[in-house]
Amino acid sequence: MHEQFWHQKWEKDEIGFHEGEVNRFLYEYFNALKLAAGARVFVPLCGKTRDIAWLLDNGMRVVGVELSEHAIKQLFAELNLEPKVESLADGLHYTSANIDIFVANIFCLNSELLGEVDAIYDRGALVALPEDIRTRYAQTLPILTNNAPQLVVTYNYEQSQYSGPPFALAESEIERLYASIYALKKLASRQETEGFAKGIDVENAVWLLGS
């Protein structure tokens, strides 16, 4: 997906991918990351996800990256926070109490700019990317975060029945992308027959990627 695709989705409010509630896997399995209070969690391609509010409410600090400034303005408004906005060479930096959001292409970030990351929560990033960009993304994350552990939400279904995004990610794809860096553990999965895939059988799963 090119950048303009996502900009248009947000500008036209075509955001069926946005979950209006906190993701169930997040509050059921976040403790698997074994983070201390005040840990800094990276949420890539974050949009205005309600998961950020949950993380903040549960004592985490949050850093995110998102292409659409439109989405980030909505995020801060819904959090009832007035951000400080700083211009960067390749984007913008929105900050407020315990939250940093970069309005930029994730591939423009570096570890120095991003800062310390204790864990990654990936609900909507990996599944949003076609294979060529997905591979680059999976190679970039460990470099940006010094191999920080991840909690990753995925979907698996017959790709020929739905074009995506979100794209289908079989277990073999998770292994291809991450097994050389992380120990992989599928924490849970559930079957869905309604929603984005219009009646197609979908496995929604959550993975722990650790050391």
Query: Is 109 annotated for ligand binding?
Result: no
Q: In angstroms, rounded to a whole number, what is the distance separating the alpha carbons of residues 23 and 26?
A: 5
Structure tokens at 59: 């004592």
Structure tokens at 29: 């399995």
Assess whether the previous peptide bond of 166 is cis (omega < 30° from 0).
Answer: yes
* Contacts (Cβ under 8 Å, ≥6 apart) of 208: 29, 32, 33, 149, 150, 151, 152, 184, 185, 187
Q: Residue 84: which of 100, 70, 68 has the closest Cα?
A: 100
Query: Is 123 annotated for ligand binding?
Result: yes
Identity of the amino acid at 113: L
Structure tokens at 85: 């906005």
Number of separate helices (H) and strands (E) present in the chain: 7, 9
Buried b (16+ CB within 10 A) or exposed e, 85-120: eeeeeebebbbeeebbbbbbebeebeeebbeebbbb
Binding site per annotation, positions: 10, 45, 66, 123
Q: Which residues are annotated as a binding site for S-adenosyl-L-methionine?
A: 10, 45, 66, 123
